[in-house]
Structure 1
Amino acid sequence: MAAYWVAHVNITDGAKFNEYMQKAPSVINQYNGELLVCGGQSENLEGQSYQQHVVIKFESLDQAKACYFSKEYQQIKQIRQGAGEVMVTLLDGMS
């Protein structure tokens, strides 16, 4: 069953976040992740507002977790530290 990595971001350091965004897709690709949404126009209707949203599709929740917790991603994630407020959720798709 497909699974999704959903991230909501408020960027505070554009240069640092940009560096992260240039490197993250290569790791995501290693785990067969498919970037479905990255940025773009959005409208917040409820809850906390975020400037940017990302949705990545994986073959399974295990694959999404393997990507997130991989050594490669954790190294790239360090670049993102201090570049903004980030909320990441991994979730199963519907069967």
Structure 2
Amino acid sequence: MKAYVIVYRESPVRDPAAMEVYSRTNRENAATFMNEHGIKPLSIYGRVEALEGPAPDGVNLLEFPSMAAAKAWYESEAYQSVLALRQGAADWRITIVEGL
């Protein structure tokens, strides 16, 4: 069953240099992430319109073949090696939701 990782950036970026390194490294690893974890980006910082509650500063929506694949990507050495850069650059909320 497919799973979706929803990444909410809850604040503006406060460390653009760290965010640039994080983003560049993820772009460099994109083919590996797709091959090893089946990741499929569906939306990367597209336009956001809040229907209820405050709008996040940015949203990413990533599709995975399963919850296990999503967790394996998040826990992978390649992703964990840059995670602290993202976490220090802004405030975030990340969820994994199982599809139908």
Instruction: Select the structure that is richer in helix.
Output: 2
- Paired residue secondary structure (1:81): helix
Q: Which amino acid aligns with 1:39?
A: Y
Q: Which amino acid aligns with 1:28?
A: F
- Paired residue secondary structure (1:91): strand
User: Which of 28, 31, 47 is residue 33 of structure 2 equivalent to?
Assistant: 28
**2:91 maps to what in 1?**
85
Q: Which amino acid aligns with 2:3?
A: A
Q: Is the 8 A contact 2:48 2:55 kept in 1?
A: no
**2:7 maps to what in 1?**
7
Instruction: Select the structure that is richer in strand.
Output: 1
Unaligned runs of 5+ in 2: none
User: Which of 46, 54, 57 is residue 48 of structure 1 equivalent to?
Assistant: 54
- Percent identity between the aligned chains? 29
Alignment root-mean-square deviation, CA: 1.5
Instruction: Quote how far apart the aligned CAs of 1:44 are.
Output: 1.6
**1:18 maps to what in 2?**
20
1:28 and 1:47 map into 2 onto residues whose CA distance is: 32
1:21 and 1:47 map into 2 onto residues whose CA distance is: 28
Q: Deviations over 1:40-64 (max 9, x none)?
A: 2111222233111000000000000
**1:62 maps to what in 2?**
68
Moved more, 5-14 or 41-50: 41-50
**TM-score normalized by structure 1?**
0.87
